[in-house]
Structure formats: C-alpha cells, structure tokens
Structure 1
Amino acid sequence: MHFSTVLFTAAAVCATTTSATCFKTGQHWGDHEPPHKALSSLCKDHTLNGHYKPHEAAYACRNSPDKGTSYTFQITNKNSIGVDVTQADCNNYIGDQIDSCGHGGKVTHSGVEYRGDPNKGPCGT
C-alpha cells in the first residue's frame, strides 16, 4: 500500500467518527413503536432530513398516543460546511437512541448530531 493510500484511508476513517451518549435520567421511552412511528414520519416528510447549512439545526416534538409523554427529535450540523441528511440516516441514528437508550440520547456521526429524547407531558410544557 502506498503512503498516499494509507493517508487517504486514515482520513476517511477519521471523517466518519461516531460518538454516542445515553441520557441517564428523565422520562423513559416506554413502548418503542410510537416514537419510531413519529420519527419515521418526520424523517420522510423532510422535517428532519434534507440539506443542512453549516451549524443549522432542525427540531420537532410529537406527543405519544396517551399524551403522557412527548418525543423530541433534533438534528444539528456541527460542521463548517453543508451536509445532506438522508431519510435513512435520520431513522437509523435517532432510531438507535430509541432502541439503545432508555432515557434517550444523542450520537454524533461525521459532525452531525442526532438526538432523541422522551419527555414527561405533552409538547410545549
């Protein structure tokens, strides 16, 4: 392998670095189906997916069917360049927070932060 190939490979690996944090306190997701359904809709209708300018963020809140819990979802481009967030990225990275983090969490992948957080009470309270 040539030096330039090694350098390019190392740069590609660094460019896709991922770090994740699960929240330790707060509301639990409960049944995972309702937040996944809400997220799927938001990732499909371009509320959360699409082009993000440098440091741009999008936020959405949806109520659970029983109105006892709300789900907040946020995507933030922390890069100094624009990025495209696909429907799959939106569903996968925030969906992982629903499935892997009982109280919600956040993950940063390639400079884009994906956040899913269940909260007590309806949106706006």
Structure 2
Amino acid sequence: MYLFTFTAILASAVTTASAAGCYSETGPGWGDLRQAANNAADAVCNGDSGGVAGNFDGNSKYACRNLGETMKAEFWVTGTGSLSDQDCKFGLKEEINGCGWGGENTHGSFYYRSDPNDGQC
C-alpha cells in the first residue's frame, strides 16, 4: 500500500515538473514548424554572432525569427553570469520540444522563454 501511494505521488510530481512552464493549448502552437523553431533557437544562441548567449548582468536578451509566412518564434533569456551557446540552446529548446504552445522556465540562474506567435518579426 505504501509503495503504491509513494509511486502515485512520485508519478504526479514528475508529470507536474515536466509540464511546468508550458503555455495552455490556446493560440498558435509549434505544430509542423517545430523543427524550424529548433533551428531558430540554434541561430539565436550563437554568442559569437551577437546572439542571446554570452554574458548577463541581470539583463534580458530578446530575439525573434520568422518560421514561415505567418508565424514567428520569440525568444527571451534573462539571468546573471555567463551563458554558453549549448546551455542557451538547451533552455530554449526545452520549451519548444516539451511544450506544444511554447513555455517558460528557469534553469540555474537563467530564465528562458520560447513563444510561437502569429505574424512576422
């Protein structure tokens, strides 16, 4: 009985944790443009080219990329310290691949937001 209760509580916590930060299923979602959004996250995290990775002093960095003729991906990163390209990609892509309608979350000292929206940048 105790094992079942513990397992049920643990499963509930894991489900909640993996869904934390995802936006509700309203508005535009990634849909067929999920791979294009992943490619856009790769592009905006290139710190060597003025991307959103790099050094932060509590400031926010924003980037927008068109995913098609009628949709865009908007990205925000806020934090303190040095953010590698790899960590930037992980944070932004987690909200793309784990959240069908985008989302936001905090990892370490950085806040990430990946948001699909109608329109162009």
Return closer, same or farther for 1:109/1:46 CA change in 2, 3 Å cut-off: same
Match of 2:31 in 1: 30
Q: Distance in 2 between matches of 1:38 and 1:109?
A: 20
The aligned runs of 1:32-51 (5 Å cut-off) are 32-44=34-46, 45-51=49-55
Match of 1:106 among 83, 87, 104: 104
Instruction: Judge conservation of contact 1:107–1:113 (CA < 8 Å) in 2.
Output: yes
* Moved segments of 4+, more than 2 Å: none
Q: Which runs of 5+ in 2 are unaligned?
A: 1-18
SS at match of 1:52: strand
- State the 1:84 CA deviation: 0.7
Give the structure with the larger helix fraction. 2
Q: Where in structure 2 are the equivalents of 1:110-121 lying within 5 Å?
A: 110-121=108-119
Cα-to-partner distance string for 1:64-87 (whole Å, 9 max, x where unaligned): 1x321100001011xxxx411111
Q: How much has 1:38 moved relative to structure 2?
A: 1.1
Give the alignment's TM-score, normalised by structure 2: 0.76
The 8 Å contact of residues 103 and 118 in structure 1, kept in 2 or not, is answered as yes
Deviations 1:37-92 (A, max 9, x none): 11101112341100001x2000011111x321100001011xxxx41111111111
| Aligned-residue offset at 1:99 | 0.4
* CA RMSD, Structure 1 to Structure 2 (Å): 1.5
Q: Residue in 2 aligned with 1:76? A: 78
Equivalent pairs, count: 99
Q: Matched residues in 2 for 1:84 and 1:111: separation?
A: 10
Contact 1:20 1:108 in 2 (8 A): no
Any idea what the Cα deviations from partners look like across 1:13-55, whole Å, max 9, x if unmatched? xxxxxx94000022101221111111101112341100001x2
Give the letter for the 1:22 counterpart.
C
